[in-house]
Structure 1
Amino acid sequence: MGHAHPVPLPARLVRTPRLTLVPPGRENLPDLIRLKSDPRVFELMLHGIRSPERTREELEDDIDFWAVRGYGTWCVFLTETGEFLGIAGLMERPDGRGTALRFALWPECRGHGYAREAARAGLEFGHRAGLARIIAVAWEENHASRQVLRDIGMAECDAFDNRGRRMLVYESRMET
């Protein structure tokens, strides 16, 4: 598993047909605090709802992760309006399972395909950055997230229990 070389800053910005994905900066902290403290978004995420202090620490970690790895989590914006929709991108799972795709968008975004568009962009960026295998983890009952993962070509490969919930692991392998 080789680590990607840091990517020049402009190349870290990703545009899809409707979205702009930007590596997070300190200016994004208010949006991230709102998102990560909202139980509708983060209750089922790894480590659950975040305090403002924890969100600030995670933002610093995300900025550092980008600097070291050349990939990470983006803030997702609707290009047309500049509206903050949530986050998507890549993180190293603390349980040692590998580099994982993650996405968390406002519930109001459901049904528009934004999560799928952002997740696909993150997955493609990760493979272009040299990650041969990218995983994603979703709660078995989270049918919307599982559908997004299937739609972007990820395949179920494993499962585990976390806090009494069955978690499914999906993977994408870079074609060689």
Structure 2
Amino acid sequence: MHYGHPIVQPARVIRTARLTLLPVGLENLADLERLKGDPRVFSTMLHGVRSPERTREELEDDIDFWEVRGYGTWCVFRTEDGAFLGICGLMERPDGRGVALRYALWPEMRGHGYAREAAAAALAFGHRVGLDRIIAVARETNLASVAVLETLGMQPCGDFHNHGHRMLVFESLAPKAG
């Protein structure tokens, strides 16, 4: 199987029962342009659907973010056949709310538990690398995303309005040692 990714630091690769999460790289640009340019996937995301140019800029930023922070965005692949399913990751929100879990999968991949599996792995990774609090934001009307966050054990901790939509904020706190 080929996941379109060169050698990466193994500690950054996540393998779950069905998925392989690899840190984003330039070799993923074509997949990301398709995903981020698709309104079925990105119309509800912060800043909406991306142009190819904006996708490239974000990818370069995501690569740099990994180098600086030691966490970031992964491309999500189905392990059995190497199919690109979408993205999942941890990013600093531009509104100052904190480090946020985010995920976006192809619509045809929804309903199989892939988002939950990838998000759970990313959340665990974030806490393992020292993030005490990780948030997630979902539109109130995005019931599938809200259900994933609740299933992960994330707790509601606020809301805000963005472009006429009520956004729900959830949080995950790292388990206390001892």
The TM-score range, normalised by the shorter chain, is over 0.9
Cα distance between partner residues in 2 of 1:103 and 1:26 = 19
Partner of 1:27: 27
Q: CA deviation at 1:141?
A: 0.3
Q: CA deviation at 1:28?
A: 0.2
Letter in 2 for 1:43: S
Is the aligned partner of 1:18 residue 2:50?
Answer: no
Q: Deviations over 1:108-150 (max 9, x none)?
A: 0111000000000000000001000000000000000000000
Match runs of 1:1-176 below 5 Å:
9-176=9-176
Q: Secondary structure at the match of 1:157?
A: strand
Q: Secondary structure at the match of 1:101?
A: strand
Identity %: 72
Q: Which runs of 4+ in 1 moved over 6 A?
A: none
Unaligned runs of at least 5 residues, structure 1 = 1-7
Q: Which has the higher contact order (CA 8 A, sep 6+)?
A: 1
Task: Please tell me the root mean square deviation across aligned C-alpha atoms, in Å.
Answer: 0.7
Cα distance between partner residues in 1 of 2:170 and 2:129 = 19
Letter in 2 for 1:36: K
Partner of 1:3: none
The TM-score with structure 1 as length reference comes to 0.95
Q: CA deviation at 1:175?
A: 1.1
Q: Deviations over 1:50-80 (max 9, x none)?
A: 0000000000000000000000010000000
Partner of 2:4: none
Q: CA deviation at 1:9?
A: 1.4
Q: Deviations over 1:79-116 (max 9, x none)?
A: 00000000001000000000000000000011100000
Unaligned runs of at least 5 residues, structure 2 = 1-7
Aligned residues: 169
Q: Secondary structure at the match of 2:94?
A: coil
Cα distance between partner residues in 2 of 1:34 and 1:50 = 9
Letter in 2 for 1:86: G
Cα distance between partner residues in 2 of 1:150 and 1:71 = 23
The TM-score with structure 2 as length reference comes to 0.94
Cα distance between partner residues in 2 of 1:75 and 1:111 = 19
